[in-house]
Amino acid sequence: MDRLRNPFTPGAGALPPELAGRSAIIEDGRVLAGRTLLGRYEKSLLLIGLRGVGKTVLLKHLAEDARRNGVVAVVIEVRNAESDFEELALRVKEALCTIDFASSVKSSVNHAFSVLRNFVKTFSLNIGDFGISLETAQGIATSGKMELDLSEMLLACARAAKESGKAMGLYVDELQNFQIEAMRGIIVALHFAAQESLPLYLVGSGLPSIRSLVGKSKTYAERMFNYSDIGALCRDDVDLAITMPMNNNGLDIAPDAIDEVFARTRGYPYFLQEYGYQLWNAAEGSPISADDVRRTAPVVQDRLDSNFFAVRFERISSREKEFLRAMAEFPQNVAIQTSEVARRLGRDLSTLSPVRASLIRKGMIYSPEYGGIAYTVPMFADYMKRMLPA
């Protein structure tokens, strides 16, 4: 088929032609935004899942939805870099600029801007000019303690949002990358917002390690969130995700071809976008058959290896590769014990602890709540075996 008109979207954060299987969570996000706008309390929301399951796409969708309904949405992706706070401050500034400057709210918006300016000065961030004359918010967000200053800054924004009949929603992607002080700052802000009936909430997304970050940040933090596991799609949703975009563009696909795609992708969204994309390009007639899927599989595999898997594998030392490869020999449906990996490699457990820690930091593996370790990338064991045959 015409490659120019290919509707599929394999790629990080690329909005799929059909956002399949996420209606329940979209509804949860809508309720959170809507209730906050009404001044009612609702727990903040954390979207947790492996790489490539569609967290970023979902987060952006929820933010857009909320914006349309009157939420002042701040959307950021945390990179675990110096620039994270600058980006946060910049997005907050942009968000404040969207609040109506009607005279009744002007003073609280002005106050929020000036607290933001304090915050920015305190942490030597550069987000450019404010372009308006600001009152002085003396002593607020100037302690130099991130936890305190960030929470004060966010609360000032929430007050400004409230006075203009809006709510402030923080949409934070790759939340696991946030320094613990930043996480604490947000949690403290949410905590006080709940007590003071201020319209502030968080929708965070990222790897399963978010749970332990939240747990470590404040004793009361875990109870402040609804957790939503974002995972692979079921057979019917895979059908929807593949068939709808094809049908909408004049191509059909047989049910047993969908079965084949489902079996090969296990329903993981990134993988099925790649299948859709390659099947479209290769299609010579309609409907696409199961045989077509089998014929296309090697191309899909090559593309996934070089685009999806390889990017994770590039910054990995040889010690770490050895560790990751050893993990591939274990069943992947349960967490793997580091001691087992050590035994397999014939090494002392103590020499592997730093390797394990480094792989967790790099987001290649995580430690599920019940202990042990697992890959953060779906079907990574097969990739390891392909790249490093025994």
Task: Give whichever of 229 and 252 is closer to ligand ADP, judged by the CB atom.
Answer: 229
Measured distance CA(327)–CA(272) in Å, rounded? 25
CB of 173 vs Mg ion, minimal distance in Å: 6
Only one residue has tokens 């790759």, namely: 174
What is the full DSSP assignment across 57-102? HHHHHHHHHHHHTTEEEEEEE--SSTTHHHHHHHHHHHHHHTS---
Considering beta carbons, is residue 56 or 278 the nearer one to Mg ion? Answer: 56
**50 vs 258 by CB, closer to Mg ion:** 50
Binding site for ligand ADP (CB under 6 A): 9-14, 16, 19-22, 49, 51-57, 241, 269-270, 273
225-229 and 71-77 beta bridge pairing: unpaired
The residue assigned the tokens 């209606």 is: 23
What residues contact residue 179 under an 8 Å CB cut-off, 6+ apart?
80, 84, 146
Q: Whose Cβ is closer to ligand ADP: residue 36's or residue 278's?
A: 278
SS3 206: strand
Q: Could you say whether residue 36 binds Mg ion (CB under 5 A)?
A: no
d(CA 171, CA 259): 35
The partner in contact with residue 312, picked from Mg ion, ligand ADP, none with C-beta cut-offs of 5 to 8 angstroms by kind, is none
Among 9, 36, 44, 56, binds Mg ion (CB under 5 A): 56
Which of ligand ADP, Mg ion, none does residue 383 bind (CB under 5 to 8 Å by kind)? none
Distance in Å, CB of 175 to ligand ADP, minimum: 12
Residue number of the CB closest to Mg ion reads: 56
CA dist list (Å): 328 to 345, 364, 373, 380: 12, 13, 12, 8
Report the residue number, 57 or 283, with the smaller CB distance to ligand ADP: 57
Shortest spacing between CB 198 and Mg ion, in angstroms: 29
167-184 burial by CB neighbour count: b if 16+ within 10 A, else e?
bbbbbbbbbbbbeeebbb
In this structure, are strands 200-206 and 225-229 parallel, antiparallel, or unpaired? unpaired
Closest CA to 18 of 246, 263, 348: 246
Least Cβ distance, residue 209 to ligand ADP (angstroms): 14
Q: Closest distance between Mg ion and the C-beta of residue 16, in Å?
A: 13
Ramachandran angles phi, psi of 165, nearest 5°: 75, 20
Q: Which of the choices ligand ADP, Mg ion, none does residue 241 contact, using the CB cut-off of 5 to 8 A by kind?
A: ligand ADP
If contact means CB under 5 to 8 A according to the sort of partner, which of ligand ADP, Mg ion, none does residue 52 touch?
ligand ADP
Round to whole Å and give the CA distance between 11 and 79: 18
User: Is residue 9 a contact point for Mg ion (CB under 5 A)?
Assistant: no
Nearer to ligand ADP, 55 or 166 (CB): 55
Please tell me whether residue 177 binds Mg ion under the rule CB under 5 A: no
Q: Which is nearer to Mg ion, 355 or 365 (CB)?
A: 365
Residues that bind Mg ion (CB under 5 A): 56
